[in-house]
Amino acid sequence: MEQIIENPQVLPNGAVPVSGAQAVERALQLLSIVGRAAEKGIALGDVVAESGLNKPTARRLLMALMRSRLIEQDELTRRYFLGGELYVLGVLASRRHGLLEMAGESLRRLSGVSTDTSFVSMRRDDYAVCLHREEGTHPVRTHALQSGDQNPLGVGAGSLAMLAALPDTEVEAIIGRIENVVGIQYPGYSPEIIRADVARTREVAYALNPGRVIANSWGIGMAILLPDGRLAGALSIAAIDSRMGEARQKELAGLLRQEVERIQAKLVTLFSSERPMPRKAVRAALSRVPEPV
């Protein structure tokens, strides 16, 4: 039941102040409204009509949800869609659903064939989160990455693969934001090194970490994309340096490519009812969060 405020003070923009609990309830109401229109998105006017809120209040709550990445707005159509953070939270909350479930069979195949350790990771803001680590049978293993570990985008093979899959403008923005953290915590990296790694990754179609996080621990990674071209996550394989010669890098890259294609085929089936966003709109949405109108 909605809280009634006697003699409410109207703010300059026409919105009425509400209690913290009521603001949360209303924001969740808007999230639910946007979710029901997940396939085609929803316009601000329709959000206002369905919620019963006035336009300034609806805009303010939508902006809060966008800052939290729970919803996003298409730059061209100005319609609202569920945001990527909901997907990340769902994956982290349950090991039975989403990308992790889709990647499980691929990880077992990768570690079974290569006998090395494989990983599936996902982007969270400016970081890559390791969702799962699948051990191989080779007696000498690398322990550079554990489930739940986070590295700045560009640091590590899977993380680099995800960064390289983003538009140039977003790559530069991320490098600028992580520069201080990288300078303090990752001496093997610098903005120049990350830019060079991104360029190489795009050229050869796989990411390589030549022992920059932990000496003698190398990794190779490849990005997973959603049907509309947006980033879903990455697969990677880690091994000691003696098992990562140039010939084996290409062999492992071939294995990764097969499994990435398998997962992307599953994603196509999952999202087959959704109409892909135009490529220009995808890149615009990735590069910034626009102001609602």
The DSSP secondary structure of 94-148, one letter per residue, reads -TTSHHHHHHHHHHHHHHHHH-SEEEEEEEETTEEEEEEEE--S-SS---S--TT
Would you state the pLDDT for residue 282?
39
CA nearest to 238, candidates 168, 149, 134 = 134
Q: Note the pLDDT of residue 90.
A: 64
pLDDT recorded at residue 93: 55
User: What is residue 11's DSSP assignment?
Assistant: P
Low-confidence ranges of the chain (pLDDT < 50): 1-11, 13-16, 95-97, 273-293
Strand partners, 127: 124, 152
Contacts of 238 by beta carbon, 8 Å cutoff, 6+ apart: 116, 117, 118, 119, 142, 144, 145, 157, 217, 218, 219
* pTM beyond 0.85, yes or no: no
Decide if 183 contacts 194 (C-beta within 8 A). Answer: no
118 within 8 A of 236, measured Cβ to Cβ? yes
pLDDT of residue 139: 77
What pLDDT score was predicted for residue 69? 87
What's residue 66's pLDDT? 92
Amino acid at 216: N
pLDDT at 96: 40
Q: Whose CA is closest to 118, among 105, 127, 215, 126?
A: 105
| Structure tokens, 76 | 């061209």
CA distance 269 to 16: 44
Decide if 155 contacts 164 (C-beta within 8 A).
no
